[in-house]
Amino acid sequence: MCRVFAGQDPEGYRQINRSIRIDGHSTSIQLEATFWALLDEIAENQGLTTPKFISKLYDEAIEINGAIPNFASMLRTTCALYLRGHRPGMEEQMVPKRQAA
């Protein structure tokens, strides 16, 4: 069972740093190559560049939550949500789950 995971190409978990401008400030974000590939895909599906998508995500998260304790982790969980089928436009479907919790 674990061979699928253990035998994966090391290129997928290679750390990559990208410099991005968020809220008017240049910052560097370090994620594994697989997460960057997913963020590129998500951004493209939204008709945005990856930096623009990340900046917009940051702004919306700040607006909703007031703070982001670990932005790199938020980006990783964004990828996980995307892989689980959550897409923009599904917010209405997700609201009852949040209210029930």
pTM summary value = 0.83
pLDDT tens digit at each of 101 positions of the chain: 689 899 999 999 999 999 999 988 999 999 999 999 999 999 999 999 999 999 999 999 999 999 999 999 999 999 999 999 998 775 544 444 444 44
Give the model's pLDDT for residue 23. Answer: 85
Report whether 23 contacts 58 (CB < 8 A).
yes
Say which amino acid occupies 37.
A
Specify the pLDDT at position 92. 44
What's the confidence (pLDDT) of residue 90? Answer: 59
